[in-house]
Amino acid sequence: MTAYALLPANARGTVLRNLALKALSLGLERGCRLVVTVASAPILGEAAFGRFVFAATVTAILALAADLGLGLWTTRSLARAEAPAAQVVRVGLSLRALSTVPYLLAVAVAALLSADVETRAVLVVLGASALFNSFADHLGAILRGEERFADEARLNATRAVLVVVLGFGALFTHRGLVGLSVALAAAGLGACGYGAFALVRRHAIWTSAGPHSMSDRLLRRLALRQALPIWIAGLLSLLYFKVDTFFVRAFAGDAELGAYGVAYKVFEGAMLLPAVILAVTFPRLVRAFADPPAHRRLERRLAAALLALGTCVGALCFFARDPLIVLVFGRAFVRSVDSLAVLSLGIPLVFLNFGLTHFLIARHLERVNTWLALMMLAVTVTLDSVLVPHGSGPGAALATVLAEVALTLGCLLALRAPPRAPAASSTARTSG
């Protein structure tokens, strides 16, 4: 018995089609990005690849800080039809546009604080790339909330093609870190442009009511109130996932960070599967909240499927780690094998936690998610402080796995109570 079997017969074909579209397009986009990253590692070398990992981590954190949690809020609001679709889209985009200004200032400060010229240039360019990609992701969240998976698939496919063509073009012509960063920024800009075209083609966003109407102002306040806990939790989650980058670089240098980054790229690549599954099932999970018994059954079956899938992927990464690293990255990165061995042990829990944290959001338990993420950041920083100075990359990997154990326990504790059907939504009152 699976979560799929809980769905009505007439909905199963739609779910399978959406899952296939999401899996193929997102798999293509993430896979192409991973392929370009993998190809860049032996060309750049350990030290330069370590600088790339550092700059990409900093800009990813800053980009998520500018997201304000509006991507998931938009998907959830559109899925529940809590307000007119055009109004939800308009409010989300206007808030995202306002957050761009502090983001750009933060990127500029990070670049000015960098010690060497190359890292400074890469931070600026990858900062632009992260901004373009974050807007493309927001546009994808809109399409996903409306279950326009075909349009989202085209957006992901466009980004994938641009990343491969421009990324490999830069690697084979410039063979340098700055050239690769410029190519990734151009790919993000192209994807953002295509997403905007797909949106405007179907939505009359700027209606006569306009962004300054009373209903828009009310919805903006509600959006921030509901999205900020999601944003804080997401930002804290990214921080505890990425904080090891700063510890490894500080205690072991760019070369060790490059070696650890290679293992972590494999670890991150495995997360594609739960990302696809939850992206497709999240809107239906949200709608099932009105029927608590069905919602609970769907949660249990999704959790079991994610854990089983994660166990298979983790076992594959663990037992095939030596040929995987040598074949894909070359013998220059052979010391990445030890870090991958440890990270593989945490993959089953990462898959499970991907589902558990989405369950919290679907139940409107964003604040619980936020407190859990804050706890995880404190746990990870403590573990990294103890394990990285002596264990370098494998020490950081062990800290990551132990943190996932703590997150699993926290989520299961928070989800013990059965879901309760929500009261009448305050969003409906703002849209009248």
56 has a pLDDT exceeding 80? yes
Write the pLDDT tens digit of every residue in 340-379: 999 999 999 999 998 898 888 878 776 787 788 888 889 9
Q: What is the mean pLDDT of residues 117-143?
A: 89
178 has a pLDDT exceeding 80? yes
- In-domain check, residue 355: yes
pLDDT number for residue 307? 94
Per the model's pLDDT, the better-predicted residue between 127 and 279 turns out to be 127
- In-domain check, residue 182: yes
pLDDT number for residue 423? 46
Q: How many domains does the chain have?
A: 1
Residue 224 and residue 165 in contact, taking contact as beta carbons nearer than 8 Å: no
Which range has highest mean pLDDT (112-121, 225-234, 391-400)? 391-400
Comparing CA positions, the residue from 56, 75, 130, 68 lying closest to residue 97 is 68
Over the chain, what is the mean pLDDT?
A: 81
Per the model's pLDDT, the better-predicted residue between 8 and 146 turns out to be 146
Residue 184 and residue 127 in contact, taking contact as beta carbons nearer than 8 Å: no
E strand or H helix at 23, and its extent? helix 9-67
51 has a pLDDT exceeding 80? yes
Query: Which letter does DSSP use for residue 3 in this model?
Result: G
- In-domain check, residue 383: yes
**Strand, coil or helix: 211:** coil
Query: Which letter does DSSP use for residue 419 in this model?
Result: P
- In-domain check, residue 432: no
pLDDT number for residue 244? 87
331 has a pLDDT exceeding 60? yes
159 has a pLDDT exceeding 60? yes
Which range has highest mean pLDDT (59-68, 278-287, 347-356)? 347-356
* Dist. CA 250–CA 67, nearest whole Å: 28
pLDDT number for residue 162? 92
12 has a pLDDT exceeding 60? no
- In-domain check, residue 430: no
pLDDT number for residue 208? 45
- In-domain check, residue 265: yes
Structure tokens at 162: 């641009």
What is the band of 15 on the pLDDT scale with cuts at 50, 70, 90? Answer: low
What is the band of 2 on the pLDDT scale with cuts at 50, 70, 90? Answer: very low
- Give me the domain span that covers residue 175: 3-424
* Dist. CA 318–CA 307, nearest whole Å: 16
Per the model's pLDDT, the better-predicted residue between 238 and 104 turns out to be 104
224 has a pLDDT exceeding 60? yes
174 has a pLDDT exceeding 80? no
Write the pLDDT tens digit of every residue in 91-109: 888 888 888 888 999 999 9
154 has a pLDDT exceeding 90? no
E strand or H helix at 182, and its extent? helix 177-202
pLDDT number for residue 70? 83
* Dist. CA 118–CA 128, nearest whole Å: 16
30 has a pLDDT exceeding 70? yes
Q: What is the mean pLDDT of residues 182-206?
A: 81
312 has a pLDDT exceeding 90? yes
Residue corresponding to tokens 């037992």: 319
* Dist. CA 300–CA 419, nearest whole Å: 12
Residue 122 and residue 52 in contact, taking contact as beta carbons nearer than 8 Å: yes
- In-domain check, residue 119: yes
* Dist. CA 18–CA 183, nearest whole Å: 30
What is the band of 118 on the pLDDT scale with cuts at 50, 70, 90? Answer: confident
First to last CA, the chain: 42
Lowest-pLDDT choice from 14-18, 59-63, 137-141, 200-204 = 14-18
Comparing CA positions, the residue from 205, 155, 179, 118 lying closest to residue 28 is 155
Lowest-pLDDT choice from 13-17, 42-46, 286-290, 295-299 = 13-17
What is the band of 431 on the pLDDT scale with cuts at 50, 70, 90? Answer: very low
pLDDT number for residue 427? 35
**Strand, coil or helix: 348:** helix
Torsion over CA of 284, 239, 232 and 304, rounded to 10 degrees?
A: 30
Percentage of residues in the chain having pLDDT higher than 70: 86
- In-domain check, residue 201: yes
pLDDT number for residue 432? 29
Handedness of CA 132, 134, 137, 139 (dihedral sign): negative
Comparing CA positions, the residue from 260, 230, 231 lying closest to residue 246 is 260
What is the band of 424 on the pLDDT scale with cuts at 50, 70, 90? Answer: very low
Query: Which of 280-289 are b and which e, b meaning 16 or more Cβ less than 10 Å from the residue's Cβ?
Result: bbbbbbbebb
What is the band of 418 on the pLDDT scale with cuts at 50, 70, 90? Answer: low
Write the pLDDT tens digit of every residue in 256-274: 888 888 888 888 878 878 8
DSSP state letters, 231-288: HHHHHHHHHHHHHHHHHHHHHHHHHHHHHHHHHHHHHHHHTHHHHHHHHHHHHHHHHG
408 has a pLDDT exceeding 90? yes
Helix and strand numbers, DSSP H then E, in the chain: 14, 0
Comparing CA positions, the residue from 139, 152, 198, 140 lying closest to residue 25 is 152
Find the helix packing angle between 214-270 and 85-98, rounded to 10°: 70
Comparing CA positions, the residue from 369, 396, 366, 365 lying closest to residue 383 is 396
